[in-house]
Amino acid sequence: MLKELMVPIFENAFESARAAGDLSSEEKPTVVIETPPNEAFGDFSCNIAMTLARAERKAPLMIAEQIVRHFEAPEGFLKDVRIEKPGFINLYLDGDYLCAKLTEILSAPDDFGKNESGAGKSVHLEFVSANPTGPLHVGHGRGAALGDVLGRVLKASGFRVHREYYINDAGNQIETLAKSAYARYLQDVKGEDVPFPEDAYQGEYIREIVRSARFREAVGTLEDEKALLSQAGVIAKDLILEDIEKSLAGFRVRFDEWFSESSLFTENGNRVEEAVAELEANKKLYGKDGAKWLASSAYGDEKDRVVVRDDGRPTYLASDIAYHHLKYERGFDRYINIWGADHHGYLPRVRAAMEMLGHDPEKLDVLFVQFVSLRRGGEAVQMSTRSGEFEELSAVVDEVGVDAARFFFLMRSADTALEFDLDLAKEQSSENPVYYVQYAHARACSLFRQAEEGGEPIGALDAPSPGVLVLAEEHQLMKNLLEWPDVVRTAAERFEPHHVTFGLIALAKQFHAYYNRNRILGQGEELTRARLCLSKCVQVVLRSGLNLLGVSAPEKM
């Protein structure tokens, strides 16, 4: 929000300098505003003079001077502009300008942080999409948190976001589920001594399902093995899906649509067959060994892929092609999928297929999220081979709470493997970053309770009067508060929600330090009001950031 004000200053100065004959470059440079590593170098800096040096064939320092000479900044915006050694142009903002700007936070507290970078654009966001063959594990939880927050961040940036869960309720894994449930049913309910198929799902949850009243009711009257098997699969799938929905709802993750893979075969004709036929018509398929192959290697894939097996059944890829084909036909501007890192090899073939079908493959992005390992007492938690229960998302959420779980999943960038420390997440102390941020928010809230009880002159919290908030730390705090929309925008542009988490931690740290060093209440009307106003802004930004993360912002702790 502040940076956006500075870019045109540099752009215009460059144009003026060129018009005046001081500079000769034809091409307009991209203006990048950076934050200097050191307070002494000002609030913001620009390296434009150094990037121009080559084309201008002049010393960066000289170019910097020529640009600065043509500076035209808004009234009262800049306190100082200095040129530093290699050729940096450093900007020092006027504190009173920042003070006045705080009005923007106070006047629309619920909207602050929002930005228009995605205005008018739509995004289709598909995430989790775990197979309905078992409970969600922590890896799904990470994908769920990432997708959910990315959705919130995109929305805050002006995108229209459609969130979707793709249910893989067709194909092999459902058959395996049916076999598993059937075998457990015979064993546990019917008391028959039948072997459990080796390739079936071993998990304890299958036994719980078949023993449930709903399963037994649905299956009870059937005798025919084939009918029983198929019914067992359907019911087990439904029950698991309900459990998944429940886990996600409890994890504060919601979807606009649950899209069933099997509907691709049955609704509005057979879309899988149609997609295959279309590829065939486009001459992108060929027959080999009785199967139909997708000629994806000509489109950036490592090799060609089977789409229809030699027995005539479509592969999973065929469904996925049909699904993505349909997504594109629904006409979004972008498509984002969140997949586990183990699926990274899958993207080139899907993109290839989209290109073959006449779609722009660049509109499809996939975020690959690395694995999660659990840690307790400094030791890695071994997954139970029997049931996998320690790895279940719901177990972790039950143990550490939704707030901590979501926050921890978003404390790392998606492409770093995550070590989830259960002890730390559970701890209600300074060591736990979740509480650290929440505590900062609660502290700010508490100031207002105190102020009211103590009869402090709060009044309407307008922007502070000029010349009151003069401390360096107040200056920094105001600057960072006003830069918050930029944090949100960065997270949205780069599909990296963790910037929100880091931004919150940094802001909380600043506020805690400020609070410890300076008293806010009882400082005389003018100063107290100004500091309360600043605290209010901190509270607003912390709350809005925590909201973006789907983490609660308690007013009292």
- Can you tell me which of 412, 489, 529, 536 binds RNA, judged by CB under 7 A? 412
Q: Which residues contact 290 (CB under 8 A, 6 or more apart)?
A: 310
Q: Is residue 88 within 8 Å of 66, Cβ to Cβ?
A: no
Please, what is the minimum distance in Å from the beta carbon of residue 416 to RNA?
A: 3
Compute, in degrees rounded to 10, the torsion defined by CA atoms 183, 186, 188, 191.
Answer: -140
Site for RNA in 209-268 (CB under 7 A): none
Mapped onto helix, strand or coil, the DSSP state of residue 17 is: helix
How many whole angstroms separate alpha carbon 295 and alpha carbon 267?
A: 28
Site for RNA in 439-478 (CB under 7 A): 439, 442-443, 445-447, 450
Residue 458: how many CB atoms within 10 A of its CB? Answer: 16
Alpha helices in 454-524 (DSSP H): 472-482, 484-493, 498-517
Query: Which among 103-111, 151-159, 271-279, 286-294 is the span making contact with RNA, rule CB under 7 A?
Result: 286-294
Query: Which among 1-9, 146-154, 263-271, 426-434 is the span making contact with RNA, rule CB under 7 A?
Result: 426-434
Please, what is the minimum distance in Å from the beta carbon of residue 222 to RNA?
A: 26
Short-list 299, 303, 307, CA closest to 275? 307
Residues touching RNA, count (CB under 7 A): 88
Alpha helices in 282-412 (DSSP H): 316-329, 347-356, 393-400, 402-409
Asked whether position 509 contacts RNA by CB under 7 A, the answer is: yes
Which tokens in the block code for residue 62? Answer: 């000289």
- Can you tell me which of 494, 524, 525, 526 binds RNA, judged by CB under 7 A? 494
Q: Counting Cβ atoms within 10 Å, is residue 338 exposed (0-12), middle (13-18) or buried (19+)?
A: buried
Site for RNA in 294-353 (CB under 7 A): 302-303, 305-306, 309-311, 315-317, 341-346
Which tokens in the block code for residue 418? Answer: 């995550």
- Can you tell me which of 142, 359, 499, 536 binds RNA, judged by CB under 7 A? 499
Please, what is the minimum distance in Å from the beta carbon of residue 188 to RNA?
A: 26
How many whole angstroms separate alpha carbon 471 and alpha carbon 514?
A: 10
Site for RNA in 71-130 (CB under 7 A): 84-88, 90
Site for RNA in 162-191 (CB under 7 A): 168, 171-173
Specify the residue, 53 or 186, whose C-beta has the smaller distance to RNA.
53
Site for RNA in 13-52 (CB under 7 A): 34, 36-38, 40-42, 45, 47, 50-51
Query: Which among 66-74, 229-237, 321-329, 367-375 is the span making contact with RNA, rule CB under 7 A?
Result: 367-375
Query: Which among 99-107, 364-372, 464-472, 480-488 is the span making contact with RNA, rule CB under 7 A?
Result: 364-372
How many whole angstroms separate alpha carbon 41 and alpha carbon 45?
A: 8
How many whole angstroms separate alpha carbon 167 and alpha carbon 129?
A: 6
Asked whether position 366 contacts RNA by CB under 7 A, the answer is: no
Which tokens in the block code for residue 523? Answer: 């400082």
Specify the residue, 189 or 521, whose C-beta has the smaller distance to RNA.
521
Please, what is the minimum distance in Å from the beta carbon of residue 345 to RNA?
A: 3
